Structure 1
Amino acid sequence: MHVLILGGTTEARRLAGLLHGTPGLKLTSSLAGRVASPRLPPGDVRVGGFGGTDGLAAWLRDHEVDALVDATHPFAATMSFHAAEAAALTHVPLLALRRPGWVPVPGDQWHEVDSAAEAARALPALGRRVFLTTGRMGLAAFADLDGLWFLLRSVDAPEPPRPRLMETLLDRGPFTLEGERALLRRHRIDVVVTKDSGGAATAPKLTAAREAGVPVVVIRRPPVPAHVPVVPGPEQAARWTLDRLEECPFRAVG
């Protein structure tokens, strides 16, 4: 049985680790290729796009994929729709592995928006020293805010267009609460911008901001296919996959 896992997320790697070495199971993970030095999961790995819905459907057919898990980033909505459409075309069972979004708690000063452009419009009224944690993609939305200073945290260095007054911190999670507290103090951050990525790896910044009384602009998640079954964690996705393996008439025996 051949399983294709879409995504280079923490959850995708964890799922690959749980499934790797299972008798009768062939495992392939597909990474988008947006990070120069990604953390590779166990098993076979391919890097790069498929060429849209038709390209993914062709790949599923050509490589005889029996089950598909969409474990992409919560903001990779285009890929999620391609996965749903390709699975429907090829009749391949599809599961979405989506980490739960963050939920505000008492003391949070959240300003929820629907896009980076809307976040940029909200910033001048909230602060002047911005901790930007939305990644290096989409910086163009903030490029014209010349009166604000930005600290961008990103795995890879950004390219123009980008804000004129910006310092880049190359780093990747998980991050600690003490580290996030120190970062806010050191750079005198008075507003944070983040995507609602969910998960524990980057959540400490929200706690640090709450403790410091710093407002947070939260970009809501984009819509995803509504008809695809969803699980919140790798363990549930592994169970779903192993159930498919038990049903597969061609699986290896012994």
Structure 2
Amino acid sequence: MKNILILGGTADARNLAGKFAARHAVTLSLAGRTENPVAQGVPVRVGGFGGAQGLATYLAENRIDLLIDATHPYAARISANAAAAARLAGVPAIALRRPAWERQPGDRWTPVDSAAEAVRLLGARARKVFLALGRQELLPFEAAPQHSYLIRSVDPVEPPLSVPHAVYVLARGPFSEADDRALLETQGIDAIVSKNSGGQATYGKIAAARALGIEVFLIGRPHLPDMPSGAGVDEVLALADHAPGFRKRGE
């Protein structure tokens, strides 16, 4: 039995932890940004490590045999720290990197580099905008109070945005295309701002926007460090069996 640390916060990480737990000792690390995370089914560590050096120390002190980065595709700082910590500690590391969504016929995508660029490109005319973003990315939209915003999040947005028109919906995915289409139509949405998260759990809004002809401002993915990676849980499981030094360290 080997010691595995999974950096999580995603459904993929939770599924991966469950698969590994049948054969290994697994700890799932959560950043702690969600107030009421889904039950994980394995031992959980909540909170940061203190950068790459802090994570490297944790890996050494807890005799971790394999580090898996299964964080959100936009958690660039955590991914960079994971890669650096693995090198410092001499621990093999792999990543779960789900593919980005690909443009389909009928999509009205406007690529942007950031939420701030999306704010600028939304324009001066008042629009009804669905902000499909984390709480940390919402603040730039206070600079465009002419728009009406629909904000869906797992936890309440505190404090609320300083804008005159905002509707808050508390919900946890996955979200179906049918449900998201009903939401967009009910709220009269004519623009969406979203990250290109990939996967199926939040793809409903993208498919619904295509069907309704709604413009989507899609924030591009950040650069992530190079490391062996799989596109899904099964690929990561296969990679783990062949991670350099993994078998040797665990035996």
* TM-score normalised over the length of structure 2: 0.94
With over 3 angstroms needed to count, the CA separation of the structure-2 counterparts of 1:31 and 1:131, relative to structure 1, is: same
Q: Which residue of 1 aligns with 2:196?
A: 196
- Give the distance between the partners of 1:249 and 1:131, measured in 2 at CA: 48
Aligned residues: 248
* TM-score where L is the length of structure 1: 0.93
> In 2, Cα distance between the equivalents of 1:125 and 1:241?
51
Give, in whole Å, the separation in 2 of the partners of 1:219 and 1:246. Answer: 36
Q: Residues of 2 paired with 1:103 and 1:82: CA distance?
A: 28
Task: Provide the C-alpha distance between the structure 1 equivalents of 2:82 and 2:190, rounded to a whole number of angstroms.
Answer: 39
Contact kept, 8 Å, 1:144 with 1:163, in 2: the verdict is: no
- Cα separation, 2, equivalents of 1:121 and 1:160: 23
Corresponding residue for 1:34?
33
Per-residue deviation, 1:36? 0.6
Structure 1: how far apart are the matches of 2:237 and 2:98? 14
- Stretches of structure 2 that go unaligned for 5 or more consecutive residues are none
- Which residue identity does 2:37 align to in structure 1? P
Cα offset, 1:238, TM superposition? 1.5
Structure 1 residues 194 and 221 mapped into 2: Cα distance closer, same or farther (>3 Å)? same
Cα deviation for residue 177 of structure 1 reads 1.2
Partner amino acid, structure 1, of 2:91? V
By how many angstroms is 1:125 displaced? 6.1
Is 2:26 the counterpart of 1:14?
Answer: no
CA-based RMSD of the aligned residues comes to 1.6
Q: What letter is aligned with 1:185?
A: E
Aligned residue in 2 for 1:53: 52
- Match of 2:120, SS state, is helix
Does structure 2 conserve the Cα–Cα contact (< 8 Å) formed by 1:137 and 1:158?
Answer: no
Deviations 1:154-182 (A, max 9, x none): 11111247241211101011111111111
- Pair 249,222 (structure 1): closer, same or farther in 2 beyond 3 Å: closer
What SS does the aligned partner of 1:169 have?
A: strand
Aligned residue number for residue 6 of structure 2: 5
Cα distance in 2 for residues equivalent to 1:221 and 1:193 = 14
**Structure 1 pair 189/60, CA: closer, same or farther in 2 (3 Å)?**
same
Alignment identity in percent? Answer: 46
| Structure 2 equivalent of residue 115 of structure 1 | 114
For the Cα contact (< 8 Å) 2:132–2:194, is it kept in 1? Answer: yes
Moved more, 159-168 or 170-179: 159-168
Q: Following the alignment from structure 2 to structure 1, what is the Cα–Cα distance between the partners of residues 117 and 250?
A: 51
Counterpart in the other structure of 1:99: 98
* Post-superposition offset of 1:138: 1.8
Q: Which runs of 5+ in 1 are unaligned?
A: none
